[in-house]
Structure 1
Amino acid sequence: MDKNVINRLWAVMLIKFPTTWESAFFKSPFKPDGNLTNVAIEWDFQLSGLTTDEIKSGIDALVTRTEKRFPPNAMEFKALCIGEEWENVADAIFDRLHTGNSYEWENQLAFNCWAKWSFEYQTSDKNHLPKLIQRHIRIIDRDSMIPLPDYTQPAIEKPPEPTKSEREKQEIKKRFFAAMSVALVNMGKLYPEKFVRLMNCGRGWEIVQDFINRGYKIPDKVKKDEHSTEVFQTMFGSVKRTYLKAVTNYLAEVMA
C-alpha cells in the first residue's frame, strides 16, 4: 500500500479516535528512519489488496461503530472496507475450518467459495485467509453458483444385513484362510524351494497378506492337527495340488 495512503489513514484515525488510536497504534505509522512501524506493517499487509475507494468505504463505515470507544484493528477495518458480505463469508469459512464436516452451510456465497477453493483455505496461513477470501469473492461467477446442501434430507438408512449367501462366503473365506495358513507353514518347512515357487506363481503372498489384514486366526483344532507331518500330508495330500485347488476354489466361490 502506498505510504501516502497509510499516512492519511493514520491522520483520519487520530481525528476519529484522538486518545485510543495513539495508545493502540502510536501517533505515526513511521519510524524515525522513515520505515513503517511493526503495527503499521500489519495494517499495510491487511489492506494492501484494497482500492482507495474501498478504504474510503471503510472510513465511512466507522460511523456504525459510534458505540465503541476503541478503534478497529487491521482485520476489523478491512471487513468494514469490503463490507458485511465479506465479513459473513469469512466468518462462515472460519467456522467450517474450525468445526469440520459437521458444519452446515447457511451462506451460499461462502459455500461456493469453499467448494472451489477449500484446499487453499485449509493449507494457507491463517493470516493470509482474509486476503484470499476477498480475492475469491471478487472473481467467483455468481450466476453459476450451486445451491446450498439440503440438510433436511433423511439420514442414510443402515445397510441391510448380509444375506445368507454372503454369510456363507465369509465362512468360506475363514475356512480357506485357516486351512491355507496351516498348509503354507508346513510347505515352508517341508518343501522350501517349491514353497517359494508356488507362492510366486499362485497369488500366495497376496493371500497371506489378506489373511493377516483380515485378522483371521487358525482354529484350535487345525493347530493341533498340523503338528505331525503325516497328519499334514493326509489332511492336504500333495502340497502343490492342495494349494492350487484351494486357490481355485477361493477365486471361484468367493471372488466371483
Structure 2
Amino acid sequence: MSLQYESNMTKYANVVSKLWKNWRSSSTNQLVNEALKAVKSCTTFMPPIDYRAYSKANFGDFGVHYPGLWRIEINRYHAQFDNITLEYFIEWALTPYHESRHAEQTYRIAQGVLSNEIKFPTKDLANKIQLAMKGRSPKEIRQAYETGNPFEVIDSGSRQAIVKSWLNIPTKVIVHADTHRSYFKNFISSTPPLWMDKRSGTLKNAVIDWMKISYDRYLGEIDRKAQGFVGEKTKTRGFARMYMSLPEEKDAYGIEKQIKLKILNNLGKSFPADENVTPP
C-alpha cells in the first residue's frame, strides 16, 4: 500500500467531502477526529503514526510533522469557523495527508537503504560533499547531484543504527522498515504517480531524490541555492518557489492536488469559481 495509490486518495477525498457537508452540524472535535481517523486508515502500511491536534491562532499554520517523534499534528483552530471558505477548508483538511506523505517518504528511504536497493553515504563522505559544494554555483551543485554517484553502500556496522541516526526517526520505525524491506521492490515497481518529477524517471530515483536533501540542514542550504533563491528583492517569491520545488514538497503537493480534484468533483465545485463558498 501507499498514500499515492488511487484507493487511498479516493477514500480520503470521500471523507473530506463528507466533512464539508456536515461542517456546520459537527463539533470541532468531531471534525478533527474524523480527519485524523481517515488519514490513519490510509497509513496502515507504516508503523502507527501518533496523530494529535493542537490549537494555535495562526491562519497560516495548519499542521506539522515531527519525524523524530513519528508524530503529526493538525491545528484544530481552523475547525471552529462556521463560515470557513472551501479553499481554506481544503487546505486544512489535506494537511494530515500531506504531512503523512512526508512520513512515507522517510519510511521509503529507510526501506530502500535497508533492502540495499538504494545506496546511502557514510557521514565522512557526506561531509566531504558539503565542503566541496560550499560556494559553488547552482549549476555545479545540480551537476554534483546528478553525476558521479556520490553514494556508497554501508558495508560495516549496524545498518539499522546508521540509518536511524541519519534520518532521526524512532527505532520502531527503522525496525518496521527493515522487517518489511522486501516490500520496497513492490513500491518502486508500481506505476509512478502523475505528479512525479519527470527528471526522476522512476520511483526508485524519486526516493533517492527525497534522500538527497534528508542529510542535514547544510545540504538543505545547498538545495536552496540550487532552486534559485536570489536576493532580498525577490526573497518571498524566491523562497516559495524554492520550497515548493524541493523533491519531497513537489511530491506532497502533487498528491494534494489529486485529492483536491476528487473533493471538488464530489462536491460539484470548481476553482477559482467556488473558492469562497461556505459550508451548506
TM-score (norm 1): 0.21
TM-score (norm 2): 0.19
Which structure carries more helix by proportion?
1
Question: Could you say which structure has the greater relative contact order, defined with CA pairs below 8 angstroms and 6 or more residues apart?
Answer: 2
Which structure carries more strand by proportion?
2
